[in-house]
Amino acid sequence: MNKVIFYRTNEYLKKSLCNLISDKSVLFYSKKKSDIKDIKHLFYSCISYEDFKDINDYDFDKDICYMTFVILDSENITIRHDKRFLLLQRTLRPKSKIICSKFPYIINAWKFYYHYSFFDKSLLKYHHSYAFEQAKYNYDEGISNYDPYNILDLTCRTKDFTMIEYNKVFDFNINYIQYNVTNPELKEYERIRDCLFNSEKTIKPVLKKLQEYSSSLIPNHNLNLDLNLMYKNKSNLIIYHTDLNIDLYLKNQMSYLFNHSNELSEVLSK
């Protein structure tokens, strides 16, 4: 049975896998990111992503129709066209696939799509992550009225294929405190922004350097580019930020992740 497991603790993951996997199950995991000591004994074979390079090194063909592939911590996939993940997504066809992730909601559209695309590329209505991503962009830009991240639609499509440990991901509140920049600070920000857009080829270093500038304006600035850090927080947050566009953008992204994660996980867990 194909499943996506969203887990917070290894105890829940282990219990869920015990009920789902067969004798011929294979675990795919990251040496750098995954903790497998409590579940390793459940598997016929454990293959790290770092070692999973040549498909010919593994004798899958003979028994693959009886196998269950477990893909652990899928949110750590960083390259969309990584050959190893394309093999798991498209080429290798075991009896079932179980995707395990700690993040039930990811703002990065193609990463969210990957959870379910490992076993059914049409489940989220699109046959490729680029199409899903484009649909999200079209909605954000007002080109389309359809939001591929619509919670009710996502839940309807994925609920039967999802197991989830919690009904509230972020069990805390966020309070935002804004510092309004001076006119000279704004002009310096605009100068840096224009220079970066003329010199950088991708958006990531632009965002990073713009936020470094905004952080320099107030000593307690703590709005971070890495939104996944939110998953580590256990208590109420006070976020200090400026009114520069870079901070307002990140604030909106943080609020979006916070609200949609909780809403999606609560609906899925009912």
Q: How far apart (Å, rounded) are the C-alpha atoms in residues 257 and 230? A: 9
Radius of gyration of the chain (CA): 21
Q: How far apart (Å, rounded) are the C-alpha atoms in residues 74 and 106? A: 11
Annotate 249-262 with b (16+ C-beta within 10 A) or e (fewer).
ebbeebeebbebbb
Other CB atoms within 10 A of residue 169 CB: 24
Q: What are phi and psi of 11, to 5 degrees?
A: -65, -45
What is this structure's pTM?
Answer: 0.83
Please report the sign of the dihedral spanned by the C-alpha atoms of residue 116, residue 122, residue 127, residue 130.
negative
Classify residue 49 by its DSSP letter.
T
Residue carrying the six token digits 């990251």: 30
Q: How far apart (Å, rounded) are the C-alpha atoms in residues 9 and 16? A: 11
**pLDDT tens across the length of the chain (270 residues):** 899 999 989 999 999 999 898 778 999 998 888 889 989 999 988 988 888 876 666 777 677 888 899 999 887 777 777 888 888 888 888 899 999 998 888 777 777 888 898 888 888 888 888 888 899 889 988 999 988 888 888 888 899 999 999 888 899 999 999 999 999 999 999 999 999 999 998 888 999 999 999 999 999 999 998 888 888 888 999 999 999 999 999 999 999 899 988 998 888 888
Strands (E), 221-261: 237-242
Q: How far apart (Å, rounded) are the C-alpha atoms in residues 94 and 176? A: 48
Domains and CATH numbers, the chain: 3-165 (3.40.50), 174-262 (no CATH)
Q: How far apart (Å, rounded) are the C-alpha atoms in residues 266 and 270? A: 7
Amino acid sitting at position 5: I
Q: How far apart (Å, rounded) are the C-alpha atoms in residues 98 and 43? A: 13
